Structure formats: structure tokens, C-alpha cells
Amino acid sequence: MSFDMNKLMQQAAEMQKQVEQMQADAEREIGESSVGGGMVKVTANGAGQVLTIAISPDAVDPSDVEGLQDLVLAGVNEALRAAAAKVEAKAQQMQSDLMGGLGLPGLGG
């Protein structure tokens, strides 16, 4: 078994390109949440940006502002978590594909 340094360098450059593409793709991975029986709905992307927050008029109770704040916070956190999970799943698949392509023993090749 021989070790091809040129092939390794080429694969490292390819890996860098794929990482950059994955970072760009993260903005297109959308996570959604619906909390409080649908009273608050949030969408976020894999880059950690909240895209939309929809609040039902039924969720607005002037005597319970704290309850609405809790719903919004829960919705935002869940949407961000869902988007991050999608990005992580793609990253793991990419890593598995790259490690298998290196042909090194014990790395899926």
C-alpha cells in the first residue's frame, strides 16, 4: 500500500471547498417551530438567523406578557435547534463521505 501525497493534498483542497459550500448552504437550511398550540410560530436558518416570528392575536394577553415572552423564547430556541440539526446531519454525511474517500484504514474506506 502506497501513500500518495498529491492525492491527499487534492482531497484536502476538495474538503475545504465542501466546507465553504456547507457554510453557504446553512443559510438555506430552515428550521421551524410551533409552540403554545400554534400561537407562536418561528422559522430560522442554519446560520443562526431568525427569519420569521408569527404571533397569533390569541397569544396577546396584556395581563400575561411574561407568558408570551416565554412562548417566543421557546419558539426561537426550537427553530434554531431544528435548523442546526439539519446542518449537523449534512456535515456528518459530508465527513463520512470524505473519510471514506481517503482510503485510509479505519476511516470508513
pTM of the model: 0.72
CATH of the domain at 67: 3.30.1310.10
Residue with cell 500518495: 4
CA distance 42 to 27: 15
Residue 9 inside a domain? The answer is: no
Question: What is the DSSP track for 40-100?
Answer: EEEEEETTS-EEEEEE-GGG--GGGHHHHHHHHHHHHHHHHHHHHHHHHHHHHHHHHHHHH
CA distance 34 to 42: 7
Does position 109 have pLDDT exceeding 70, yes or no?
no
Residue 13 inside a domain? The answer is: no
Assess contact for 28 and 9: CB atoms under 8 A.
no
Q: Domain total for the chain?
A: 1
Calculate the average pLDDT of the chain: 87
Residue of 88 and 19 predicted with greater confidence: 88
